[in-house]
Structures are given as structure tokens and as C-alpha cells.
Amino acid sequence: MRYISTRGDAPALGFEDVLLTGLATDGGLYVPESLPHFSLEEIRSWRGLPYADLAFNVMYPFVEDAIPADDFRTMLHDTYKVFSHDAVAPLVQLDSNEWVLELFRGPTLAFKDFALQLLGRLLDYVLEKRNQHVVIMGATSGDTGSAAIEGCRRCEHVDIFILHPYQRVSEVQRRQMTTVMGDNIHNIAVKGNFDDCQRMVKESFGNQGFLGGKTQLAAVNSINWARIMAQIVYYFQASLALGGPDRSMAFSVPTGNFGDIFAGYLARKMGLPISQLVIATNRNDILHRFMSGNKYEQHQLEHTLSPSMDIMVSSNFERLLFDLHGRDGAAVKALLENAAKGPVSIEDYRWKHARKLFDSDAVDDKTTCDTIREIYQRNEYLLDPHTAIGVRAARNCRRDPAVPMITLGTAHPAKFPDAIAESGLSVKPQLPAHMADLFEREERYTVLDNNVAEVQGFIAKHWKNA
């Protein structure tokens, strides 16, 4: 399988090179030249499979040119055996036809573990084979950083530098990153917001001269195709558990960077019956404003109780725009260049085509807290603020009550105790046993100004072979 850029001006690459490259040389994102497609009969035959075996069936077409089947199977079993629930992604019922898909049973209690536990193993495999070293540079709005560090900290051929917005992630999120010690692990707190961090990462990938030609950058953000690939699997898992593919499903996805919901879009294109995808956002609602009114316009970023979605520049949305424009890279490039200058819209027929599948909603902090409290009082089930936004958006946007509605539960509530407290509940979410001493562990991170040259200088000085 070959991978092409969403901007149409970069060479097509194989899986190994896409894994290590991240951003294409023309500034675009890599997507498969074509997608595998599974028949209903084939999907039906996967019912009851353990998660790792299902993951193999869904993902192997994307990597088969680079990794032998037995090696990939082993990698997947090693990846998902560290999760704390045998089902890996269990479903919890909220109402007669409403569910939460728990994606926080991994080591860092967030959905990012599904992809980043695998990504670390993929990087180790490929870099060992190539006898190559890379520097991982990533930005996090809260959860990607800890999942990336946990997934990659044992990689012998990697130095990892994670940027997070200073004082704009929860304390649990910060400590999950900054208490992991290792000579190859570096946490940078940038005096800015997530979009500033993400911009620095993209700029650095576009010009890697600060590394002196001695190594290259690799991506852990959802610009890396391997992240998206791994997230496709749990849409199949949830559907099969509730009667799919013989009945269609609807999913509500708390999302800021559009990667997690784009994985659902791909699952549908690969043959899984999905009738509705709900984009659930907070006050940073650029995706909602586009999907509800065909206007893509950046506003001032706001700090909310759901910090992992405090994002205004939604990187993976480019991958959807590529499809909506008939995979015309030049058209996507022109649109995004215009979007950097002011509001843009797409042709009405393209927008209406997207609306056949997608709905959206923006949920403020008060409504988020109301939802946390309401669900707990009715079900004694505690939602984190991101999942609460997904549940509220699902209820506001639901098209057909007969279709199962599945909200992706993206994080453990213990990561966001302030939001739980603000909801008025007296219950205090507890961290699991392996994190019980988190607040007693030593922290290590560096605070830097919102300046790309300063950040690049820090990386150039501190990677292992500098």
C-alpha cells in the first residue's frame, strides 16, 4: 500500500517511511492511496474475536508491505495485554439504546493509549531494522503527551520531546508526563496555548535544519497515519458487540483535532455500517461552526474544563477536506492557505455531502458539569468532562432512537477532578493502583517562552547524540 499527501505535491511513500516522516514535504498529511474494503460477511465473521485479533484483521492491509504477519500479530498482542480490562474497550450502557465505549483502560487512562502503545512498538521495530535514530517532537493538549511517553520511553532509538501549554493542562495530565524519568524523555512547558505548540511542531517538521542533519524528526501527534490507523479498530469492536454489521451504529466523538472521528469516517468507508457521526466540541467550536454553517473561521482559543479539546487549528480536518474535494491536493492547499487569512467556506454541494454523515454540537462548561451530575445521579456512572460533552452532543443531535448511539469515552474521570468538583458532586474519582502515588513523584520539565527558535535550540542541545 502506498500513501499520498493531502496537498498533492509530495512523493508517495510506503508504510515505514510514512511512520517516520509524519508531515509530508509539501506540508500535507499522508493518507492511503486506497482503502481496504470488507464485506458484511467478512466483518460478521469477526464477532467474538479478542481485541488484538480484530485489530490484526482491520489494520494488517495498511502495513503488510512492511511487517510480516506474525511479527505484527505479536506486536498487537503485546500492545493490548497491558490494558486493565480483558475486553480492552468495554461498553457501558447508559440508557435503553445509549452506550459509552470506555477507551481509558490503557496505562495512561486515555484513548490515546490505543494508538501510542502500538506506535512505540512500531517505531522500535522499524528503527531497529534500519539501525536508525529519530527525535520525536510532539504537542499535547493533555493526553497525547503522557501516552506518547509511556508508549515510547523504552525505545532504544528514540529521544522524545513533548510540548504542552504551560498551566493549561490538568495537574494529573501534567504529572503523568513530567514524573516519567529517563535520559531520552524531555517535557517542555510552552508559555502559550496548544495551537502555539502544534504550530511549532509543524514548523519544525517543515524545516529540520536545527538538528544539523544528524537525525530526523518523527511524529506522535495524530498527523502520524499510524495513530489514525489504530483508532479505526474500536469502531469495529463496538459495532460487533451490539449486533453489527447487521445493524447500523451512530457514534458521538469528543474531538478537537478531528483524528478520532476521522477514524470512524474511515471505518465506514471500509465497510462498517455507520449512519451518523457526531462531532462533539467545547467552546472552541471551529468544527461545529463549519459543520453546522459551512464557515471555517478561527476564533480566540478559550481555556475550558475539557482542556484536551482546547484546540482551534484542527489538523486532521485536512484529511476530510481532501476527500470532500475529490482528493484534489491543490484545491486543499489553496483552501487552507485562504483559511490562514480569514474565514472560508467550501462549495455548498460538498458541505451538504459531509452533512449526510456528520452532525455537530458545542457544549459549554456549565452544560458539561450538568451532564456529569445528571448521569451520575441517574446511573452512578462518572464521566470525565470530554466524555460528558460527547454524551450531551449525542442526545442533542441524535437522528434515530432505534439506532444504537455510542459515545467514545475518551478519558478516566480521575484525570479531571476539578471538573467533577465543579459539577457539584461530592464523589472524588480515584486514580487506579498503578498511579496511586502520582502526586508524590518527582517532576521534571522545562518552561520555555512561546518562541520556536528557543524550543528548537533546546531540542538541538538535549537530544542524545547532540
Identify the helix (H) or strand (E) that includes residue 417. helix 417-422
112 classed as catalytic: yes
Q: Where are the alpha helices (DSSP H) in 65-111?
A: 69-80
C-alpha cell at 459: 531540542
Cβ neighbours of residue 247 closer than 8 Å, sequence gap 6 or more? 273, 403, 404
C-alpha cell at 77: 498482542
- Candidates 112, 202, 333, 415; catalytic one: 112
d(CA 277, CA 196): 29
Beta partners for residue 359, in sequence order: 278
Query: Closest Cα to residue 261, out of 310, 319, 311?
Result: 319
Helices 143-152, 112-130: axis angle to 10 degrees equals 40
C-alpha cell at 57: 484483521
d(CA 425, CA 431): 17
DSSP secondary structure of 20-71: HH-B-TTS-BEEESS-----HHHHHTTTT--HHHHHHHHHHHHHTTTS-HHH
Q: Known catalytic residues?
A: 112
